[in-house]
Amino acid sequence: MAAIPDSTVGTNTAVSGLESTFADELGALTVPWQGAHAPNPTLLVLNEQLAASLRLNVDALRREDGVGVLSGSTAPAGATPVAMAYAGHQFGGYAPLLGDGRALLLGELVNSDGQRVDLHLKGSGRTPFSRGGDGFAVVGPMLREYLVSEAMYALGIPTTRALSVVATGQSVRRYGTEPGAVLARVAASHLRVGTFEYAVRQGEVLQPLADYAIARHYPKLTELPTTGDSNRYLTFFEAVVEAQASLVAHWMRIGFVHGVMNTDNTTISGQTIDYGPCAFLDAFDPAAVFSSIDHSGRYAFGNQPAVLKWNLARFAETLLTLIDSTPDDAITAVSAVLDTFDERYAGHYAAGMAAKLGVAGEPLDRALVDDLLTLMEEHGADWTGTFRALADELRGNSMPLDGLVPRERIGPWLERWRGVLTKQGRGAAETADVMDCVNPLYIPRNHQLDAALRAATDGELAPFEKLLEVVTHPFAPRDEWADYITPAPASFNKTFQTFCGT
Ligand code: AMP
Ligand code: MG
């Protein structure tokens, strides 16, 4: 490991009031560190609404001092930024030491809802965990994380959020030379399954880590005893299983492919984290993979629930000694909880799909969903477009659906669906309106995002700003946004790929 700088405590007052409970209580999992100097930092985008909810001064953030903090060049007053240690299973193989190779935890803030959140930088230079990496990030991928995470937030999906992207003024080597950038992100925390995988091999820090995670994310469980049948740590495991089962059901209802579901990218809070090679589906295809390195389709759209369960099994392994001192009993206990994953996931997914189809109040016939998905897959129907077209169908406008699945194929299914809706007694127009509140019209379409990021890399931010405005208002149609509805042309999708660690 590289030497720790003498003093990293900052004096820059643009951001004040940062706390450091994680670093204070779990020093064994952190290394105090400083961001790299940014030669010419320029603020590309600032999330003013998020900044205000963090009680940060927007004007101060826009000034030189503020941009200094958001670029990682200067540490905020009184704060000690740290790089966090973690391990992780990457594509199924165990890496004992990953850690923040290009990121820094600046500290924690309590937002206007009273929740403690992390303020974290990505792309702020090398750390002791950088291994072979350069510690940097570039404009396109950081703006990509900014836009996709904010779109997910607008869609009502638990996620980390984006506060800003600053261009550093430095060139970074990637596929050619690209402009460097730093993303500031806000998360419920940066505790991951990988944090526990690291801690369990360090020994003593495991229990303090579990207690910290429980106090921060599942505070009611602190009242439970540390031993016995329904002890604190087993119940904690169950709470994370539940939060993650709910999260992946959200991804599956919205058509989101995370792309790199390694255990270091699986949070304890239940938020989506690390928007690298992610993408939204166009044509529904369970085998859809966009990541350039996912050759086996491990993280394909349809595999996401199964992979998540696998990641939760790795999490369970880290908690065994806390759950029961008799190994066999600990394994029996976590296995029983892990076995509930399928049912929990199925419940969340069914509720999500019922809402998409305007079915309320009665258990959804799973075959109704499965048969629709079979038709969509057969005809390559656009995931997002199909559910809006179904609402239009209820309003008497058949044109959108006719463009997606031939009427003679979907006709019998439509009759079954209308039968269910009639039984529930809500009017067709009202059902259509309710559906439009959960089925987005605007998502980050891969071709449009790609074009906006290319333009931004060349210094032209307007297309990015426009797309950001559109995808953060996903539900209500606007005439002037008609261009943002259409899926990418087939020729684009054939070659479209996303990249890790860019
Ligand atoms: P990710 O794929 O973003 O979840 O990153 C996996 C691991 O690779 C983490 O430990 C990152 O900090 C590290 N990493 C990714 N890109 C870089 C980079 N350019 N320099 C140093 N570390 C990196
Ligand atoms: Mg990661």
Q: Where residue 8 falls among pLDDT bands split at 50, 70, 90?
A: low
From residue 352, how far is each of 107, 252, 304, 388, 435 by CA, in Å? Answer: 35, 9, 16, 15, 11
25/42 same-domain check: yes
Q: Is there a single domain that holds both residue 280 and residue 254?
A: yes
pLDDT reading at 443 higher than 90: yes
Q: Quote the domain boundaries for residue 171.
A: 11-190
Enumerate the H helices of 99-225 as residue ranges: 139-154, 193-202, 206-217
- The reply to whether 192 sits in an annotated binding site is yes
Number of domains in the chain: 3
For the ranges 3-12, 21-30, 76-85, 326-335, the lowest mean pLDDT is seen at 3-12
C-alpha of residue 264 to centroid of ligand 2, in Å: 6
The CA 493 to ligand 1 mean position distance, Å, reads 27
Q: Which of 190, 214, 247 is the last residue of a domain?
A: 190
Q: Is residue 459 part of a domain?
A: no
Choice from 84, 90, 102, 195 to test ligand 1 binding pocket (greatest atom count within 8 A of CB): 102
Which entry of 100, 211, 264, 294 is annotated as an active-site residue?
Answer: 264
Distance CA 109, CA 124 (A): 20
Band of the pLDDT at 501, cuts 50, 70, 90?
Answer: confident
User: Per-residue DSSP letters for 7-37?
Assistant: ---B-B-SS---B-HHHHH-GGGEEE--PPP
pLDDT at 134: 97
Ligand 1 pocket, mutate which of 130, 274, 275 (most atoms under 8 A from CB): 130
The yes-or-no verdict on residue 409 having pLDDT over 90 is: yes
CA of 122 to the centre of ligand 1 (A): 9
Q: Are residues 330 and 387 in the same domain?
A: no
How far apart are alpha carbons 447 and 37 in whole angstroms?
Answer: 34
Mark whether 287 and 425 lie in a shared domain.
Answer: no
CA angle (448 as vertex; 387, 477 as ends), nearest 5: 40
Mean pLDDT of the chain: 96
Is 274 annotated to bind a ligand? Reply is yes
In the reported structure, the alpha carbon of residue 102 is separated from the centroid of ligand 1 by a whole-number distance in angstroms of 6
Percent of the chain with pLDDT over 90: 92
pLDDT higher than threshold 60 for residue 181 = yes
Give residues with Cβ within 8 angstroms of 73, minimum separation 6: 35, 36, 37, 38, 41
Atom 14 of ligand 1, residue of closest alpha carbon? 101
Q: What is the mean pLDDT of residues 257-284?
A: 97
Could you say which ligand is closest to the alpha carbon of residue 276?
Answer: 1
Per-residue confidence band for 1, with pLDDT thresholds at 50, 70 and 90: very low
Whether residue 208 sits in one domain with residue 249: yes
CA distance 249 to 472: 21
Please indicate, yes or no, whether residues 142 and 225 belong to a single structural domain of this protein. no
Q: Are 456 and 139 in contact (CB under 8 A)?
A: yes
Ligand 1: nearest atom to the Cα of 136: 19
Is residue 442 in a domain? no
Same domain? 371 vs 391: yes
Q: How far is the CA of 210 from the centre of ligand 2 (A)?
A: 20
Which is the closest atom of ligand 1 to the Cα of 265? Answer: 4
What pLDDT score was predicted for residue 498? 85
Over range 162-170, report the average pLDDT: 98
Q: 215 and 181, same structural domain?
A: no
Question: Among 331, 349, 367, which residue terminates a domain?
Answer: 349
Q: What is the pLDDT of residue 354?
A: 97
From the CA of 86, give the closest atom in ligand 1. Answer: 10
Q: Has residue 498 been placed in a domain? A: no
Q: Is 35 annotated as a binding residue?
A: no
- Calculate mean pLDDT across residues 320-345: 98
What stretches of 188-290 adopt beta strand conformation (E)?
256-257, 279-280
Task: Tell me whether residue 486 is in a domain.
Answer: no
Let me know whether 87 and 32 are in one domain: yes
pLDDT tens digit string along 183-202? Answer: 999 999 999 999 999 999 99
Neighbour-count burial for 85-97, b at 16+ CB within 10 Å, e otherwise: bbbbbbeeeebee
User: Which of 291-295, 336-340, 434-438 shows the lowest mean pLDDT across its residues?
Assistant: 291-295
- Per-residue confidence (pLDDT) for residue 2, from 0 to 100: 47
Confidence (pLDDT) at 5: 54
**Ligand 1 atom having least distance to the Cα of 276:** 3
In a domain, 409, yes or no: yes
Query: Nearest residue CA, atom 22 of ligand 1?
Result: 101
pLDDT value of residue 277: 93
Closest ligand 1 atom to 132 CA: 21
Work out the pLDDT band at 322, boundaries 50, 70, 90: very high
pLDDT in tens, 106-138: 999 999 999 999 999 999 999 999 999 999 999
For residues 286-294, give the mean pLDDT: 94
- Using pLDDT thresholds of 50, 70 and 90, give the confidence band for residue 491: confident
Does 135 carry a binding-site annotation? yes
Task: Check the annotation: does 265 bind a ligand.
Answer: yes
Quick check: is 472 in a domain?
no
Ligand 2 centroid vs 30 CA: distance in angstroms?
A: 16
Q: Each residue of 32-56: pLDDT tens digit? A: 999 999 999 999 999 999 999 999 9
Burial of 337 per CB tally in 10 Å (0-12, 13-18, 19+): buried
Burial degree of 494 (CB within 10 A; 0-12, 13-18, 19+): exposed
Q: Where are the alpha helices (DSSP H) in 105-164?
A: 139-154
134 labeled part of a ligand binding site: yes
392 catalytic per annotation:
no
Is residue 492 in a domain?
Answer: no
From the CB of residue 44, how many other CB atoms can be counted at a distance below 10 Å?
22
Q: What percent of the chain has pLDDT over 70?
A: 98
Candidate from 215-219, 309-313, 420-424 with smallest mean pLDDT: 420-424
Ligand 1-lining residues (CB < 6 angstroms): 98-103, 129-130, 133-136, 260, 264-265, 274, 276, 500-501
Same domain, 215 and 110: no
Token pair recorded at residue 382: 């656009």
Domain end (from 418, 436, 454): 436
